[in-house]
Amino acid sequence: MSEAIECRRHIIFEGTMLKRLIMVLLSLPLATALATADPKVSAKRSGDAAQQAMVGKDSIAVISYLGNEYSVRTIGFLAFGNKRDTVTVNWDLDGVAAARIAQSLKAQYAVVPVKLSAQGISALKAAPASLFGIGEESRAAHFCTVLRRETQGKPFSYYVLIVPSQSDYSNTNQIVQGIGIVYRQGIDTGYTHLHALYRVEILDGNTCKILRSDAPRGENVGFSAVLHGATREVDRSWMPEPSAVSADARLKAATRELLEQSLSALLRKMFASAQ
């Protein structure tokens, strides 16, 4: 009796395994067809990482020309105390900006950093101004002409352009520009701020229309703002001699951090409203 039961169990087990095997074999042609038809799978099989990244994603060319100039400013309590120096640093701020953008947007977009030629930088700096929307079309057309030449005519869904900007300092008539540090003398004390003054322009790669143009905001806004842009207050000991800026590791690290953090916050706002 026990042998008959055991034999029956063995037959049921073998029948179940046979059914599973038949189902697997029948599903193979469909799975193969789906894998062949899916471009993501095809790209993966080809081993072409760049192609795989582009599948199903809008592409973005990132162009930064913040440059390698660092501003060191002193704004005196009286006019004769004003001092302005611009020094060259080898901190790869453009690379830092492009890397931050790629990190922030890589989940939704295929991001391609583009390094500008010297001619491209000069051409972008010569872009016509736009005020309250007047002249925006000619400015956008100029950008696109330069960017398409710099990207060798490759098609991109968007261009993200990072350009240096400027701001007036508090209630003075002094202008602060680009990336740097500024010290404001006072009667009893002073104020020292790192600053990253720039704008981000998002252009449609097909129509050349400027979709968004915006700048980061500091901790204070409106009339209470010291600078209209990304800033960080530091103590007086941070203010360097111009000749010592390039080798100042603390200043370099803090400046790069300010740029990265402000870019991350700005991109979240700009791309959320650009969709």
Within-domain flag for 137? yes
Closest CA to 72 of 262, 255, 259: 255
Domain count, the chain: 2
Q: Which two tokens stand for residue 265?
A: 């916050």
The answer to whether residues 19 and 118 belong to one domain is: no
d(CA 248, CA 186): 25
Amino acid at site 226 = V
Residue 42 resides in a domain:
no
pLDDT per residue as tens digits for the range 155-175: 999 999 999 999 988 878 889
Asked whether residue 29 falls in the same domain as residue 107, the answer is no
In a shared domain, residues 196 and 100: yes
Q: Are residues 67 and 145 in the same domain?
A: yes
Residue 80: per-residue pLDDT: 74
Cβ neighbours of 258 (radius 10 Å): 19
Q: What's the predicted TM-score (pTM) here? A: 0.73
What pLDDT does 219 receive? 58
In a domain? residue 73: yes
Residue-level pLDDT at 204: 93
33 is in which domain, residue-wise? Answer: 2-37
Per-residue model confidence (pLDDT) at position 220: 52
Residue 36 scores a pLDDT above 90: no
Mark 77-111 as b/e (b = at least 16 C-beta within 10 Å).
eeeeeeebeebebebebbebbbbbbbebbeeebbb
